[in-house]
Amino acid sequence: MTPGARARRALLVDVILAAIVAALALSFAAGLGVVAFFALPLLLIGLVWIAIERLVRRARRRHAGA
Amino acid sequence: MEERARRREVPALPRWRRARRVLLIAAVICLVPAAFSWVHALRRSRNISWNIATVEWVRAHGGNPLVSQIENWYYELNAPSKGGPPLRSLPRVGVATADAEAPEEHEVHIYRPPPIKPLIHPALPGEGVWKPASATAGKRPPVLLTTFRSDPEYPQFVAGVAWIDSGRTHLVYVPGLAEPPELENRGPAEVPPSKRDRIAATFNGGFPLETSNAGLVYRGQVLAPMVDGIATLVEYRGGRVDIRPWENGERVNPKIVFAKQNLPPIIDEGKLNPNLSDGPEWGATVNNAIRVWRSGLGVDKRGNLIYAAANYQTVESLAKILQRAGAVRAMELDINEDWTSFITYRHPGAVEPSNLLPEMFRPSTRYLEPDERDFFAVYVKGSK
């Protein structure tokens, strides 16, 4: 299996897992308001985290290249 | 070729990154139906800002305990401190015209409530003195207004109080756009233009049914089962209005036009409820001891209505305001700055609407356009 195919399969597995997690959250939470109350900050924090990670990585690469 | 080979050598994602990816994708999936529901709620016709509408949406979709807990924390962090410089004047309420004079001696049949005795001395000009709400009220104003400093420990707190002559007025329960939730033919959710020539005042209702766990009867129809022991504002056929703890179980007298319940009584038989400092009894919203905008409604010995509202009140301090104003039975109505409103109209036709207290957050035109929540409208009966 090529690394690309392995990555795609990992992504598929992760999406299926995420769908299960989402289904459980939507089923057991008291309502959509509660789900959104936790999901939105989680998403925002995650996106900011990834953005900072990329910026740091880019800065390190530049620093190493200089 | 070398570049491609180097890319292929990139190791698989570490587990924590995959877990993060799973969580973020799950969050996106969860937010899709939530976003549809939220946008649908915001697109409904309403006269509240998007942020209040969002909080209400969270409350209505299972988030009431969350919102209430956050509100409790916020209000505890922003609690007022005792003392401070004394006030030099009170906000002007009502109108000071020739009509505002006390009735002459031969007009002894016209009852006026006694002034509210000030708690802090020296009293400020006009403190506790009733003034007519309307410039055209005549010798027997249907609504009188006053303000007074309600707590010697907090000399900057000002309570607004309104007295409503039950003999001259007719109280009407008006369903809002969203409250009560289950209702067919809910009407315009505002003071209808055709009735504005007789409108004297409008004021907020109680907690939403979802958070009050209390009953509601409207046009003789039970919209939520009545609960024994809960304070109930009742209007009977013929127009008589009263506030009493409910004692009839789920059985509803056919003579009742509307019955709106909200929490246990805060005053009964002239006495403060002994459980005012008991937190859980006061609903799953903001704690009873948290100082926020609160409003309440009572009846005096003669059956006239007394409305009171003020910022930074606990359930107990609100009850004391109503008791001092002459209420012998009383209930708490809605709380928080977003929902507390008492509006009077200085001229017929709902002209020159005015909030009871200038710090009231909602505009004085609130009930002249469809409103989210249910409210009460006070109409002047017949001719003046």
Task: Please answer whether residues B46 and B176 qualify as being in contact, where contact means their C-beta atoms are separated by less than 8 angstroms.
Answer: no
CB contact under 8 A, B26 and A26: no
Q: Determine the distance in angstroms separating the CA of A38 from the nearest CA of chain B, rounded to an integer.
A: 8
CB contact under 8 A, B30 and A7: no
CB contact under 8 A, A34 and B63: yes
Task: Please answer whether residues B192 and B356 qualify as being in contact, where contact means their C-beta atoms are separated by less than 8 angstroms.
Answer: no
Instruction: From B319, B269, B264, B275, select the one nearest B297 (Cα to Cα).
Output: B319
Q: Does residue B57 sit at the A interface (CB-CB below 8 Å)?
A: yes
Structure tokens at B125: 């000009």
Structure tokens at B210: 């979802």
The DSSP code for B166 is T
Would you say residue A15 has pLDDT above 90? yes
| Span of A46-50, A61-65, B331-335, B346-350 with lowest mean pLDDT | A61-65
Q: Determine the distance in angstroms separating the CA of A5 from the nearest CA of chain B, rounded to an integer.
A: 11
* Pairing verdict, β B216-218 and B256-261: antiparallel
Per-residue pLDDT at B100: 46
Structure tokens at B87: 């006030």
Q: Determine the distance in angstroms separating the CA of A41 from the nearest CA of chain B, rounded to an integer.
A: 9
Q: Does residue A47 sit at the B interface (CB-CB below 8 Å)?
A: yes
Cα separation, B341 vs B362, in Å, equals 7
List residues bridging with B159 in a β-sheet: B148
Task: Please answer whether residues B340 and B366 qualify as being in contact, where contact means their C-beta atoms are separated by less than 8 angstroms.
Answer: no
DSSP letter for each residue of B240-268? -EEEEE--STT---TTEEEEEE-SS-SEE
Per-residue pLDDT at A1: 78
pTM for the model stands at 0.85
Structure tokens at B292: 């926020």
For chain B positions 15-44, those within 8 Å of chain A (CB to CB) are 18, 20-31, 33-35, 37-38
Residue B333 CA, chain-centre distance (Å), reads: 5
Q: Determine the distance in angstroms separating the CA of A55 from the nearest CA of chain B, rounded to an integer.
A: 17
Per-residue pLDDT at B182: 85
Per-residue pLDDT at B107: 56
ipTM, 2 decimals?
0.93
The sign of the dihedral angle between the CA atoms of B288, B290, B296, B301 is positive
Nearest chain B residue to A35 by CA: give it: B30
Residues of chain B with C-beta less than 8 angstroms from the C-beta of A18 = 21-26, 29
Q: Does residue B284 sit at the A interface (CB-CB below 8 Å)?
A: no
Nearest chain B residue to A34 by CA: give it: B63
Q: Determine the distance in angstroms separating the CA of B16 from the nearest CA of chain A, rounded to an integer.
A: 12
Nearest chain A residue to B57 by CA: give it: A33
Best of A13, A14, A49 to disrupt the B interface (most B CBs within 10 Å) is A14
Q: Does residue A55 sit at the B interface (CB-CB below 8 Å)?
A: no
Per-residue pLDDT at B384: 45
Burial status of residue A46 (CB atoms within 10 A of its CB: 0-12, 13-18, 19 or more): middle
The stretches of chain B forming alpha helices (DSSP H) are 2-8, 15-43, 50-58, 64-77, 209-212, 315-324
CB contact under 8 A, A26 and B12: no
From first to last of its 384 residues, what are the pLDDT tens digits of chain B?
A: 555 555 555 577 889 999 999 999 999 999 999 999 999 988 875 788 888 899 989 988 999 889 988 988 888 898 899 988 889 899 888 887 544 455 555 555 789 999 999 999 999 999 999 999 998 878 889 999 999 999 999 999 999 999 999 999 999 999 999 899 888 889 999 999 999 999 999 999 999 998 888 999 999 899 999 999 999 999 999 999 999 999 988 888 899 999 999 999 999 999 999 999 876 677 656 778 888 999 999 999 999 999 999 999 999 999 999 999 999 999 999 999 999 999 999 999 999 999 999 999 999 999 999 999 999 999 999 754
Per-residue pLDDT at B102: 53
When CB atoms are compared, the residue of B18, B35, B62 closest to A33 is B62
CB contact under 8 A, A49 and B20: yes
Cis peptide before B85 (omega within 30 of 0): no
Side-chain-side CA neighbours of residue B166 (13 Å)? 19
Would you say residue A65 has pLDDT above 90? no
SS3 for B149? strand
Residues of chain B with C-beta less than 8 angstroms from the C-beta of A33 = 34, 57-63, 66
Name the one residue in this structure whose structure tokens are 């946008």.
B39
When CB atoms are compared, the residue of B22, B59, B62 closest to A14 is B22
Residue B81 CA, chain-centre distance (Å), reads: 24
Q: Determine the distance in angstroms separating the CA of B282 from the nearest CA of chain A, rounded to an integer.
A: 22
Cα separation, B300 vs B304, in Å, equals 5
Q: Does residue A14 sit at the B interface (CB-CB below 8 Å)?
A: yes
